[in-house]
Amino acid sequence: MNAAHVHLLLNHLPIIGILVGFIILVSGFVFKSALTRRIGNITLFFAAVFVYPSFNTGEGAEEVVENMPGVSEGLIEKHEELAEQMVNFVTILLPLLLVTFYTDWKQKGFLKYVQWAVLAVSFIVIIYGKLVGTTGGEIRHTEIRTEQVGGGDAPSFINKEAEGEDED
């Protein structure tokens, strides 16, 4: 098992886990269930914690793939920059979740407002998670790239089909 394998194993948990935690938390609001909101918060917390080991294994994964054919340094840099932004928002989310746990435990009146802040920040983290996951996949999966490494907006087979359509 190399560093890229470890990175791939770790990075799916925070992306999917934060989405699942968000859905559970929203369900808790919809169904007015304090228990469901607590489960959502706990799910968000544990999933968010895994952002850090996933991010920290990225450098090792980069060293494994950076010299492989078809791998673009630009794609790696884009992925890394988005991952840094995701880590920044998770660094806001985790303390908010700790405040949520404390205010829930102490039955503070402002729990609802902290929960709304958790929802907002976790939604932003979900957006970054989607972007990080997509750009990470584009590094080795050419079939999902929106832009080709060598330039052009569409894969070469699409450009060839478009050229053939001028026969009308």
pLDDT at 1: 87
* C-beta atoms surrounding 153 within 10 Å: 9
pLDDT digits (tens, 9 = 90+) for 105-149: 999 999 999 999 999 999 999 999 999 999 999 988 777 777 655
pLDDT at 142: 73
pLDDT at 145: 74
Higher pLDDT, 154 or 104: 104
Cα Rg, the chain, nearest whole Å: 20
State the helix-helix crossing angle for 34-49 and 3-30, rounded to 10 degrees: 160
Is 61 within 8 Å of 3 (Cβ atoms)? yes
Higher pLDDT, 59 or 152: 59
pTM: 0.83
List the structure tokens of 160.
Answer: 């060839």
Ordered structural domains, the chain, with CATH? 3-167 (1.20.120)
Percent of the chain with pLDDT over 70: 87
